[in-house]
Structure 1
Amino acid sequence: MLLLLLVFVFLLVLFLLLLLLLLLIVLLLIVLLLLLLLLLLLLEKLLGNGQVGFCFSVVGI
C-alpha cells in the first residue's frame, strides 16, 4: 500500500515537472516572438521605409 502511494506521488511529481517544463518552453517561445517583433519594428524605424510595416499589415498585427 505504501509502495503504491510512493509510486503515485512520484508519477504526480514527474507529471507536474513535465507540465512546468512545457510552460517554460512556451514562455520562452513567446518571449522570443516578442523580441523578434521588437527587432522588426526597430529595423523599420532605422530603415525608414514601409516594407516591414507592410509585412505587419499582411500578418494582421
Structure 2
Amino acid sequence: MSERFAPAAGRLAGAAGLWLGWPPHAFWQATPAELAAVMQAARGDAPQPADRETLTRMMEADGDG
C-alpha cells in the first residue's frame, strides 16, 4: 500500500464498521462503487429504484428478458 492509500483505507474501513456495522472483510470485499452506494443510501440520498418498465428494458437489452 502506498503512504497515502493506507491511512485513507484505514479511515474508511473504520467508518464502514462504525456507521454501517460492516466487519473488516465486508469492507475489503466491497468495490468503491458499492461502498459509495451504501453510504449514499445511509445518508438518505439514494437514487429512486428503477420502475418495472425500465427494468424490463434493461433486461431485454442484456438478453435476460
| TM bracket, shorter-chain basis | 0.3 to 0.5
Q: Choose 1 or 2 for highest CA Rg.
A: 1
- The two structures have a TM-score, normalised by structure 2, of 0.31
Larger helix proportion of the pair: 1
